[in-house]
Structure formats: structure tokens, C-alpha cells
Amino acid sequence: MTSHAFRYLLFPHTTVTEKDYRHLSILLPYMSVMQVLRPPFIPQWGQEQFYGWPVIREEEQIEQVKMFLKGFQEFAGVHGENSMMASLSHEWIAREALDSRFRIQGTLKGKKTDDSESKRNLILEAAVFLEMARDLDVHEAELEGNLLEVEGLEEEFREILGIGDGEDLDEAMEALTPPLVSERSGLSFMLPKRIACWLRLFLNYSSEGAPSDAPFPVLAALTQDVMEEVLDPILAARDRSEKPLQCVQTSLATLPSLERLAPEEFQALVHRFTASGQLADYRSKFEALLRAPADGSLLQALTASSADLQRSVEEFCASTDKTGQKRVNLILTALEDCNLSDLGNCLDKEGSQVWADVRLSQRSPSLFINLTWA
């Protein structure tokens, strides 16, 4: 991996669909995906731009995570895939309740809490939870892929019958048939817990301290729901402390959906923009804005560059007859006076007791980027 000023980390999920990989490959220079046990799926064409990021390094911990995960997978195998969410929620709550009971009993008996043991248990819980959530997300992605395939067959059927895409007909079809595109509800399932576990593993990985010239972390989310779950508790905490949150939020780029392009068409698109220098121009202005999110002149320059990129993508899609209605947007959120250590303390109440003293070398602001669809 080459040296970069920023390190883009998928947050807080550990899987990415082919569709999202395509858009992120245009909108971001590169991205790392947190790896607990199993390496993330990365398409062959994205091997030089997307990377797995292992966060568990001790072999003993890895074996413990494998043991617990196997138990939950066997539970889901016996009771069916619909039990996956129940396994994530009810069994997780029961385990937390049991752990809390032991801590209370130890306190009543005057036993001193072993901080190192508590830390190991918290890491184990977070790792197992994220691996279970990964299984849920993979299942969700497979379902979404099947629905998109059916949607494509429906479009071909309409073309064979000579049915146009008139607005009145579309409204009638929507009234008669359920939508085929998945709402991706699985990605939002237990989202606050996903965020807490991800931050816990991130802070633990970073607790040894990063060099002063380490890339600045930028957390990349696949949905707007992630940002809402991050901001709501932080705003509530700031209201209680009467300290306003300094936040900059702005749109960085918009692209037409690339999901309908054939693999060879998508590769031709990337090659064209790489050769022309458009991607390099957009990315240089993109990272310049990340260094100073409140600078209006930098935002203006990025807006012009991203608009040129959008027009070029639209022209290419039109040339392949794959122009669609969907648009994907990239949104920046910069929390000017809040670093990732502060986020961990606010969003992971249980883990903050162990990692409260962790101070990352990276200072404020906390930088987030997320995708939205329109």
C-alpha cells in the first residue's frame, strides 16, 4: 500500500456490495475494510484500491472469536436464516447481562476488577458481534443481488412487449406490484451496537500509538443512517454540557448509478477517467478540502471538478444506453472539535471505561463521508 495523507476506513460495516465498490472506487482514492476473522470480499478489479485491515492480532483471541462464532452459526443453521437477527440481539443481550452480573457480584465481594481481563472480554464481544453482523450483511447482499436480477428481467420483459417508461405507467406498476429493490434494512440492524463495537476495536488497535506522520483516519459509511446514529448522542451530550458542536456538513459529489453497467463497460469508464486525468484532478481537490473542511474556496473548486466528473459519467452511461434515474451522493461531515477518542467515549459506554485514557495522535476534527441515494 502506498503512502497517503488520509486513511479511508469503512465504518461501521465489514462488507461492501459490488454496487457500492463501484461508486466508492470513483469517489475515493482507496479504502480499508476492517477484518476481524475473515478477509472482506473484494472484487478482482478492486484489489489495488481496496484492502482488508486485520484488527485482531493475538492468536489466542482469534481462536476464541472462532469458537463463539461457530456456536452462533450452528444456532442459525438449526433454526434458519431468520434466526440470525434474534441470535444477534437476544443472545447478545443475555451474554451482556451475565457479564454485568459477574461484575456486580465481584464488586459486592470486594474483588478487584481485572482491567486486562475486562479489556479482553470487551474485545472478544465486539469481534464476535461484528462477525455475526457480517453474516447478516452477506445474506442481505445476496438478497439484494437477486432482487436486482429480477428487476433487470422485468425491464427486458417490458422492452419485449414494447412498454415504454411513461410516468403514468410507472405509477400504476408501483401500485400493483411491491418494489423489487431492497431497502437494505439489515445494514441498519443494531446500528448503535455496530458503531460501538467498531470504535472499540479501532481504539484498541490504535492504543499503542500511531507515528506522527500516520495517515489521518476518514470514516466512510454506506448509508446516511450511520451519521444520524453518530450525531444524535453527541448532540445530546453537548446539550447537557452546554458546549455547542462545531460541525461542517456538505455535499462533495454526485454520480449517476453505475450498477447497470456491464463489467467491461465499468472498466472502460475507469480507464477513460484515469487516462484523462479527471479522477486525479477530482481527488486532489477532494483531499485539499478534507484538510480544511470550512474553506469555501476549496469547496468551490471541488464542486466544479466533481460537476465535470458527473457530466462525463452521464455521457458515458448514455453512450452505453445504461442511463438510469438513481443518483448516488457523497456527503462530508466534519466534527471540528471532536476526535475519534471522544467519539469512542460517547458512543461506546461500556468500552469507554477501558479505553478512556487512549489519546490518538490524530487530533480533531473527526471526518466522516457517507453515501446517500436519490
pLDDT, tens digit only, all 374 positions of the chain: 444 689 999 999 999 999 999 999 999 999 999 999 999 999 999 999 999 999 998 899 899 889 888 877 776 666 555 555 555 555 454 455 445 444 544 555 555 456 677 888 889 889 989 998 998 888 887 876 655 555 555 555 455 555 555 444 444 444 434 444 444 567 888 899 999 999 999 988 887 655 556 788 999 999 999 999 999 999 998 888 888 889 999 999 999 999 989 999 999 999 999 999 999 999 999 999 999 999 999 999 999 999 999 999 999 999 988 777 789 999 999 998 888 888 888 899 888 777 766 655 556 689 999 999 98
Structure confidence at residue 102 (pLDDT)? 45
Considering the domain boundaries, does residue 187 fall inside one? yes
Spatial distance between the Cα atoms of 67 and 75, rounded to a whole number of angstroms: 13
Considering the domain boundaries, does residue 306 fall inside one? no
- Who's near 31: CB < 8 A, 6+ residues apart? 8, 9, 10, 24, 49, 50, 51, 220
Considering the domain boundaries, does residue 256 fall inside one? yes
- Who's near 367: CB < 8 A, 6+ residues apart? 6, 216, 217, 218, 219, 290, 293, 332, 333, 334
Q: Terminus-to-terminus CA distance in the chain, angstroms?
A: 34
Beta strands 247-256 and 6-10 are unpaired
Structure confidence at residue 90 (pLDDT)? 52
Considering the domain boundaries, does residue 268 fall inside one? no
Please count the structural domains in the chain.
Answer: 1
Considering the domain boundaries, does residue 242 fall inside one? yes
Write down the H helix ranges in the chain: 18-27, 59-79, 83-86, 92-108, 115-161, 167-176, 191-206, 224-241, 263-276, 278-291, 296-319, 340-347, 349-355
Spatial distance between the Cα atoms of 295 and 301, rounded to a whole number of angstroms: 10
DSSP label at 188? G
In terms of Cα–Cα distance, which of 283, 137, 290, 321 is closest to 223?
A: 137
**Bridge partners, residue 249, by sequence:** 333
Considering the domain boundaries, does residue 275 fall inside one? no
**101 close to 90: Cβ distance less than 8 angstroms:** no
Considering the domain boundaries, does residue 31 fall inside one? yes
Considering the domain boundaries, does residue 310 fall inside one? no
Beta strands 6-10 and 366-373 are unpaired
Q: Grid coordinates standing for 195? A: 458503531
Structure confidence at residue 2 (pLDDT)? 44
For 311, other C-beta atoms within 10 Å of its C-beta total 10
pTM reported for the whole predicted model: 0.83
Distances (CA, A) of 167 to 14, 29, 75: 38, 38, 47
Q: Grid coordinates standing for 329? A: 451522493
Whole domain around residue 40: which residue ranges?
6-260+324-373
Structure confidence at residue 156 (pLDDT)? 55
